[in-house]
Amino acid sequence: MAEKLEANHTATVKIFGTAGAARGYAIRDFLTRGDVPFEWIELSNNQQARAIGLETVSDRRLPVCVFSDGTRLECPTVRQIAEALGWYRDPSRAEYDLAIYGAGPAGLSAAVYGASEGLRTVLIERYIVGGQAGTSSKIENYLGFPRGIRGADLAEAGREQACRFGAEILMLREGVRGEFQPGKGTGYLKDGTKIVAHATVCATGVTYRRLNLPDEDRFLGVGVYYGAGASEASLCRGNEHVYVVGGGNSAGQAVMHFSRYAPKVTMVIRGVGLKETLSQYLVDRILNAPNVEVSPHTDVTALHGDGFLRAISLTNNQTHQETTVDTRWLFLCLGGVPHTDWAVEAGVARDTDAYILTGPDLLEAGKYPKNWPLERAPYYLETNIPGLFAAGDVRHGSVKRCAAAVGEGAMAVTFVHRYLANS
């Protein structure tokens, strides 16, 4: 049998697949972020494929997932994996006290506080719990974890805690539209499901920026990855040169994480140096890591390959000189744009960068917007629509930290109580 790249004797799922297959990456990413133990078994010849009942190593039924209860799924979608794990559910109620959109730190925190304080709470997540934090290999500045905590572990603990208090979590469901009347918000999900709640918290965070290069979609999962690639780092062993694009803390963390596996890691940044954008502790670690180099004033300008990424072009944005380097691993940590498209139609006020305005930030020349219908001022985390709150990274002026998102999620629930008591 093939080399077991991530030997894991408590594996809940065994995944048999071939190197560089996008579906294999999607499944590994989902399971890593869901904190589900798995064993990735890479097949390299037909004999190995036949051992699991397939014809050849290029069989379209790959990857094959075998669960500990014997369930076997061939070339499953992420949704089918979620169903096999019992994670894909329908809402149990026709109406809730509180609906939360987004299960990152802010949404999970709102779910824990909402449910523990007696609100019938539903948490809707378009992918899997954890949000950006769930993709972090190690969060080192979250209170109470002096040696840091893996983002997926923090997310799983939050999920368990929210469920224990009775919050209902609907994963792989995306809110796409909202209608808000006094005391009643209706959220429409992409799959046609309708969620009715007396109050709503938007904690949809941000989505990663892209390079916007031709072929970026084609290479997604087969050489190009968004975020810190927590599920992929251990595959970068051997003779691999990893490129991480971005100059923020998430990029810095990713670089240090990959440097434990790959012989060489290059951090590609547009600016002159790291000091303006990175925490000092990360600057120190990066500059002291023998297998890490920083490439300043550099843009990624082209992606090359066939089925997989094989090389990238880098252009110096001062001299305009272009070089092409071989690599199979390009990780993009470019920061995010807020996920608020749905807010336009609902009439939710946003700033020029599309972040949601709340509380005092709604003031225009000392006055609340014309469409604010109540005598009282909006609560601190309330949007211009009474009963609709925003928390975490999606909110204008938020500090883009895990602890802050968790704090805002909890705080939003306090205002939800006030809103419900007065409406």
Ligand X SMILES: Cc1cc2nc3c(=O)[nH]c(=O)nc-3n(C[C@H](O)[C@H](O)[C@H](O)COP(=O)(O)OP(=O)(O)OC[C@H]3O[C@@H](n4cnc5c(N)ncnc54)[C@H](O)[C@@H]3O)c2cc1C
Give the interface with ligand X as residue ranges (CB under 6 A): 101-107, 124-127, 131-133, 135-136, 139-141, 174-175, 203-206, 227-228, 249-250, 253, 339, 392-394, 400-403, 405
- CA 164 – CA 179 distance, rounded (Å): 30
Q: How far is the CB of 120 from ligand X (least distance, A)?
A: 19
Nearer to ligand X, 59 or 125 (CB): 125
Sheet bearing 224-226, strands edge to edge: 224-226, 329-332, 241-245, 264-268, 292-295
In the complex, minimum distance from the CB of residue 282 to ligand X, in angstroms, rounded to a whole number: 9
Shortest Cβ distance from residue 220 to ligand X (Å)?
16
Q: Which CB, 159 or 339, lies closer to ligand X?
A: 339
Return phi, psi of residue 114, to 5°.
-60, -50
Q: Distance (Å, rounded) from C-alpha 62 to C-alpha 324?
A: 32
Block residue for tokens 């895990």: 402
Q: Tokens in use for 345?
A: 């139609």
Judged by beta carbon, residue 17 or residue 107, the one nearer ligand X is 107
Strands (DSSP E) along 205-291, which ranges? 206-208, 224-226, 241-245, 264-268
CB of 191 to ligand X, least distance (A): 11
Reported as half-sphere exposure (CB side, CA atoms, 13 A), residue 1 has a value of: 12
Contact 209, 110 (CB under 8 A): no
Between 101 and 219, CB nearer to ligand X: 101
For residues 21 and 162, which CB has a smaller minimum distance to ligand X in the complex? 162
Cβ neighbours of residue 211 closer than 8 Å, sequence gap 6 or more = 245, 300, 332, 334
User: Closest distance between ligand X and the C-beta of residue 208, in Å?
Assistant: 8
Q: How far is the CB of 378 from ligand X (least distance, A)?
A: 19
Q: What does the buried/exposed string (b/e) look like for 341-354 if buried means 16 or more CB atoms within 10 Å of the residue's CB?
A: ebbeebebbbeeeb
Considering the complex, state which of residue 174 and residue 299 has its C-beta at the smaller distance from ligand X. Answer: 174
**What is the rounded CA–CA span in Å between residue 225 and residue 19?**
15
In the bound state with ligand X, the residue whose beta carbon lies nearer, of 126 and 198, is 126
Helix runs in 275-397, H state only: 280-288, 341-346
Complex with ligand X: residue 180 or 372, whichever CB lies closer: 180
| 266 within 8 A of 243, measured Cβ to Cβ | yes
The minimum distance between CB 210 and ligand X, in angstroms, equals 14
Minimum CB separation of residue 152 from ligand X in Å reads 11
